[in-house]
Structure 1
Amino acid sequence: MRARAPRASGEITRGTTGHNRLRRADRWICAVYGPLLVSADRPLVVDLGYGASHVTTTELFLRLRRIRPDVEVVGVEIDPARVAAARPYERPGLSFAYGGFELPVDRPPLVVRAFNVLRQYDEARAWEAWDLLRAGVAADGVIVEGTCSEVGHRAAWVTLDARGPRTVTLAARMAGFGSPGDLAERLPKALIHRNVPGERVHAFLRDFDHCWAVAAPYAAYGMRPRWTAAVELLAASWPVAVRPPLGGRRRWRLGEVTVPWEALAPGGGSGQVLYTT
């Protein structure tokens, strides 16, 4: 009698996905953690909760192979039907497996990408999922966990390592929003319900919107100059990453901004008083 596979940790998501939905996160992973993948021995990357289609996992695989030709990518899904549907698209270095937060792979992955997986969880369970993931990655591994809009024009993610959450990144298509505050709806689960007065993330978005308004004259030259100017203003009172690979004008021009987790962590604070550069 065949042994029953152990129950995966997690819940089935809606599975919504689409071509290039996670391009912004993939681009960031390649820029920030490309050197980690290049220097590793047999690097393994997991795409957790890829949804109803294999497409975003395959796109991640192709993008990572440009910087590390022998990287292995495993798409992990908790819905067996989705795994079965994805397996015809396997190729050397790319595979799909049934599982959840326990990460059912043969060795600890160096990078885990988990997008739009925790939106249906409450905050406490999201923290539990983070702990499970951190326990399963390589000693020097990282987790990139976040959410994005249906077409990927607005996104936010947290990077975690063995010590816990390290950074928060907001990313937007320049024509895809009215002000930085619009990105609040895409905050990761650990922060989205904290966007209220008295919390750091609320103060950050408030100040970012103010900087965006002050930078309005730059809109005459386009949205990228306006975003860059707004981030530069924001960096005067918040610990915005200003040097590569996390920050600097090259990343800002892509519609990104990254800050340390502690700057936005739940617990209150005014931002401009507590966080200065």
Structure 2
Amino acid sequence: MPKRIGEITRGTTGHNRLRRADRWVAAVHGRLLRSADRPLVVDLGYGASHTTTLELFLRLRRVCPSVEVVGVEIDPARVAAARPYEREGLSFVLGGFELPVSGPPLLIRAFNVLRQYGEAEAWDYWTMLRARLAPGGAIVEGTCSEVGHRAVWAGLDTTGPRTLTFSARFGGFERPSDLAERLPKTLIHRNVPGEPIHAFLRDFDHAWAVNAPLGAYGHRQRWIATARTLAGTWPVAERPPLGGVPRWRLGELTLDWAALAPDHVGHGR
């Protein structure tokens, strides 16, 4: 048995906590999953309950009936508690970042897993997970609030990070930069003057303020207008499946990672 790589997380979870990310995964990566006969998806570090892994399985089965989902957890007690909920296409195994699964996964979801590590470790684990992907595969790694109303996640492929997505429940924030506390570990300490992510969040807040009059028609219209404003100066995705009104109306905004990458030479550049 390979050595388990990683540390036990707090394990906090709950029903529908990751619904925003799941919805995005189904929309953005549904075609990828349908391109394989029996696509393998790994939910890494699912926590103290099987709930969010089961929800991921059910949501992905709607877009790809042949998908197989494996929940990977480093805590033996959590795996034992989850196994009674296994079914055809859904299983739970003991492990960590080494991913002890039957083959290279086409998709890896890792949420609220890397916050307890340092920035350099987070970059290293990204590299490790990328090396375990099937060709053409993808990773969705990020963080969300306790009830899932605020979330930020990075989209990666075998070559590195490609996108960053902000997602929020309308009415669940005062200004967009409130989501900064949910930035991936590779960015959260970079939210300081002189770094691209800091400049973007500043502009995000400014665009939100400029479009305040549209708030009279609801937060959704204000968010859509804010996305259009930002797209004038930042590489905001403007077409499906990553962007455009169908995604913006859900409280999402996706950008090219390259515009937000840490201003240093080394990891991720």
TM range (shorter): over 0.9
Letter in 2 for 1:120: Q
Query: Residue 5 of structure 2 corresponds to which residue in structure 1?
Result: 9
Matched, 1:235 2:231: yes
Q: How does 1:133-148 map to 2 (within 5 A)?
A: 133-148=129-144
SS of structure 2 residue aligned to 1:119: helix
Letter in 2 for 1:27: R
Letter in 2 for 1:69: P
Q: How does 1:106-255 map to 2 (within 5 A)?
A: 106-255=102-251
SS of structure 1 residue aligned to 2:114: coil
Distance 1:38 1:18 in 2: 28
Distance 1:89 1:203 in 2: 45
Distance 1:103 1:138 in 2: 12
SS of structure 1 residue aligned to 2:262: coil
Cα RMSD after superposing both structures? 0.7
TM-score with structure 2 setting the length: 0.97
Query: Residue 267 of structure 2 corresponds to which residue in structure 1?
Result: none
TM-superposition CA deviations, 1:158-212 (whole Å, max 9, x none): 0111100000000000121111000000000000000000000000000000000
Distance 1:108 1:39 in 2: 15
Does the CA contact (< 8 Å) of 2:73 and 2:93 recur in 1?
yes
Shift of 1:40: 1.2
Q: Where in structure 1 are there 5+ consecutive unaligned residues?
A: 269-277
Matched, 1:92 2:88: yes
Does the CA contact (< 8 Å) of 2:37 and 2:66 recur in 1?
no
Matched, 1:53 2:49: yes
Distance 2:194 2:132 in 1: 34
Letter in 1 for 2:72: V
TM-score with structure 1 setting the length: 0.94
Report the identity percentage: 73
Letter in 2 for 1:15: G
Letter in 2 for 1:135: A
SS of structure 2 residue aligned to 1:151: coil
Distance 1:6 1:44 in 2: 20
TM-superposition CA deviations, 1:59-117 (whole Å, max 9, x none): 00000011111210000000011000000000000000001111110111100000000
Q: Where in structure 2 are there 5+ consecutive unaligned residues?
A: 265-269
* Residue in structure 1 matching 2:34, options 25, 35, 38: 38
SS of structure 2 residue aligned to 1:66: helix
Shift of 1:41: 2.2
Distance 1:69 1:122 in 2: 38
SS of structure 1 residue aligned to 2:115: coil
Letter in 2 for 1:230: T
Shift of 1:218: 0.5
TM-superposition CA deviations, 1:1-33 (whole Å, max 9, x none): xxxx33211110000000000000000000000
How many residue pairs get aligned? The number is 264
